[in-house]
Structure 1
Amino acid sequence: MQRIRKRKGWTFDKIAECTGVSKGMLYRIEKGETQPTITIVWRIATGLNVSFSSLIKQEAEVVNIVEQKQTPDLEEDNGRCRLYLIFPFDPETQFEVYTMILRPGANYHSLPHLDGVREYITVKAGEFEITLHDKTYMLDEKKSIQFSANVPHQYENKADTETVLQVIMYYADEG
């Protein structure tokens, strides 16, 4: 976040105004003193007009073999929704890839993303419901979905088993 903030020439006041996240929280996040929730990272990304993973990525190498971490990069809904970054945002491809694991009972509400952001979700294991606007879709291992992510959307696992999602976020324009 510091790199992006300095590149844009923004103060914590400006970021707080654009994201709805307090200056104190932004400062603690930038200094590594606290781990934000998925919702807070999305708010910051949307307010800064940058990709989600640009706020949590590590520098990429020419060849990058990724093994899922034991600890998620971010958690939400009391740990029932866990996010593991696989490939951070790449300005050449305009996308990022991560795995989202929804434990039984998980209910994650996502804020709208910027115009031009599309989500591509493939169910790798289990099943879940996704609600876009007021329409709900049930997806299982035989289904995938893609949609414009500039609307509120909700992921819910009503099953008794864990659901594993492969998520690709495409950013039409990294601002």
Structure 2
Amino acid sequence: MEVYPIFPFDIMNKFEVLTIELRKGCNHSSPVHSSGVEEFIIVNKGILTFEIGNQVIHLEEGNSIKFLADKPHTYKNLHEEKVCFQNIIFYKN
């Protein structure tokens, strides 16, 4: 997994923007965030398999999702093509 900070965490605005690339077979389990933290995912390339709770969601290029990140969540690339997506994390507290 490669992570490229576009806008690193800013204490005043309480958000960060990352570009993330997952190569074939990559599986990243994200730590649980504090209550109220929201994540926004926008897939730029490839097919991202996203798991949160008991849900498995396949996001293709151009798809997006918003979720509360206070439970375990996992990002996977189950395909040959590299996955590239934007991850915006908003810290409410």
Structure 1: runs of 5+ lacking an equivalent: 1-80
TM-score for both structures, normalised by structure 1 = 0.52
1:125 to 2:45 alignment? yes
Shift of 1:88: 1.1
The equivalent residue for 2:90 is 170
Normalized per residue, which structure has more strand? 2
Q: Measure, in 2, the Cα distance between the counterparts of 1:108 and 1:124.
A: 18
Q: Measure, in 2, the Cα distance between the counterparts of 1:123 and 1:142.
A: 6
After superposition, the C-alpha distances for 1:145-168 in whole angstroms (9 at most, x for unaligned) are: 110000000111011010001010
TM-score for both structures, normalised by structure 2 = 0.95
Structure 2: runs of 5+ lacking an equivalent: none
Q: Measure, in 1, the Cα distance between the counterparts of 2:87 and 2:30.
A: 13
Shift of 1:101: 0.3
Q: Which contiguous aligned blocks of 4+ residues in structure 1 show a shift greater than 4 angstroms?
A: none
What is the SS of the residue equivalent to 1:151?
A: coil
The equivalent residue for 1:83 is 3
Does 1 or 2 have the higher relative contact order (CA < 8 Å, sep 6+)? 2
What is the SS of the residue equivalent to 2:84?
A: strand
The equivalent residue for 1:16 is none
Q: How many residues align?
A: 93
Identity of aligned residues (%): 38
Normalized per residue, which structure has more helix? 1
Larger Rg: 1
Q: How does 1:5-154 map to 2 (within 5 A)?
A: 81-154=1-74
Task: Give me the CA root mean square deviation.
Answer: 0.9
After superposition, the C-alpha distances for 1:12-47 in whole angstroms (9 at most, x for unaligned) are: xxxxxxxxxxxxxxxxxxxxxxxxxxxxxxxxxxxx
